[in-house]
Amino acid sequence: MQAVMETYKRLNIAPTSGQGSWLFDAAGNRYLDFIGGIATNSLGHAHPALVKAIQEQAEKLIHCSNLYEIPIQAEVAKLLTEATDFDKVFFCNSGTESVEAAIKLARKYAHTNHGPEKHEILTFSKSFHGRTYGGLSATAQPAMQEGFGPMLPGIVHAPYCDLEAAGQMSGSQTAAILVEPIQGEGGVNVPPEGFLQGLRDLCDEHGALLIFDEVQTGVGRTGHLYAYQGIGIVPDVLTSAKGLGGGFPVGAMLTKEEYAALGPGNHGSTFGGNPLAMAAVRAVLGVVNDPEFLEEVRFKGQVLKNALEVLAERVPGSEVRSEGLLIGFELGPEVAPKVFEHCLREGLLVNMIGGTTIRLAPPLTVTRTEVRAALDTFRGGIEAAVNAISSKASETNQVAVV
Ligand SMILES: *Cc1c(COP(=O)(O)O)cnc(C)c1O
């Protein structure tokens, strides 16, 4: 009997080592990894700078309580604030914890400055903010909340991209609007021009904090260090995790000085900002926070997008939604599973969302050659799926004629 609780439906693939964009299993099979631990292996596998950073730090100091000064934590916080519009960083260990910190910060700030009535958090349909109770309550997906009620009170949901609804649901009671600038788990949904600016305006009108959940879109994923920098709308609070440690567990919540409402005793984390995690973040930022590197991410993203859009012409109703190397290819319930299976058989690891959309989030270090290889596999998958469906359709037609 499997001793691991079955909280994941797992594929029959068991990687035991990796190198760059490739994963290897014990039997010697290799896989081209175009999902990268779901936007987490930002530097691919066994990146020398990340391996060296972790090895060297492990020999010096792995953990040290936040009761003491942690110089490398201060250094990494400074790196993050210098690279963004924020002044203060709270470190934790995961995406959902960064969201918890953001919700607590927003409520504390509102409580201190306006009183307890101002505590509502507005979030959006199809969002994903993590699995702990704060994050889960913010995640406006009934299927994920089912059976776990009651949820955290004071969280309301509006349809994603519906600015009018967001306007109706926000007011003086709103402490924060929490939104993914591009939805990841919801299917890689890129909001239309004006939506995020509209939320910015609502927050300004109501004295609420705008929180961008950049757990998936951050750390170079969209071709900018954080997606907001490409969009040009600055939130008040930002959450980061996934790619931040290149696979090492670490999360962060960033905010501006004037909103940094959490003081001693208000919040904390035993492991948050430990030296080992900080060494990983420093190594990742050393590679990713570089204009040339980010430009190359945008280039590879554009190559993928253009080529997938050509393939999309073969599948009626299909659509490519992407920013940088976060790509959703909606193919519908008939084609998507066939393409997914084809990729798996060919050793290309991708991810399927909702049975209809293929998600790609390869390592940011993926090479142009690997991008072409993945596209070849995709082309074959679309070809095979379209042929299988049309031959099935003509069979049915023949039966109908007979
Ligand atoms: C993955 C994700 C989370 C949760 O991160 P965990 O590290 O799994 O807790 C939260 N928000 C967004 C946008 C995510 O993509």
Residue 236 Cβ inside 6 Å of ligand 1? The answer reads no
pLDDT tens digits, 213-271: 999 999 999 999 999 999 999 999 999 999 999 999 999 999 999 999 999 999 999 99
Pocket test for ligand 1, best of 96, 132, 222 (most atoms within 8 A of CB): 96
Domains and CATH numbers, the chain: 15-33+291-401 (3.90.1150.10), 48-288 (3.40.640.10)
Q: Residue 398: its pLDDT value, please?
A: 64
Tens digit of each residue's pLDDT (9 = 90 or more) over 55-84: 999 999 999 999 999 999 999 999 999 999
Tens of pLDDT, residues 151-181: 999 999 999 999 999 999 999 999 999 999 9
Mutate to test the pocket of ligand 1, among 7, 8, 100, 129 (most ligand atoms within 8 A of CB): 129
Positions marked catalytic: 128, 213, 242
Mean pLDDT score across all residues of the chain = 96
pLDDT tens-digit map of 360-378: 999 999 999 999 999 999 9
Distance from the alpha carbon of residue 92 to the mean position of ligand 1, in angstroms: 13
Whether 277 has a pLDDT exceeding 90, the answer reads: yes
> Can you give the three-state secondary structure of the chain, one letter per residue?
CCCCCCCCCCCCCCEEEEEECEEEECCCCEEEECCHHHHCCCCCECCHHHHHHHHHHHHHCCCCCCCCCCHHHHHHHHHHHHCCCCCEEEEECCHHHHHHHHHHHHHHHHHHHHCCCCCEEEEEECCCCCCCHHHHHHCECHHHHCCCCCCCCCEEEECCCCHHHHHHHCCCCEEEEEECCCECCCCCECCCCCHHHHHHHHHHHHCCEEEEECCCCCCCCCCCCCHHHHHCCCCCEEEECHHHHECECCEEEEECHHHCCCCCCCCCCCCCCCHHHHHHHHHHHHHHCCHHHHHHHHHHHHHHHHHHHHHHCCCCCCEEEEECCEEEEECHHHHHHHHHHHHHHCCEECEEECCCEEEECCCCCCCHHHHHHHHHHHHHHHHHHHHHHHHHHHHHHHHHHC
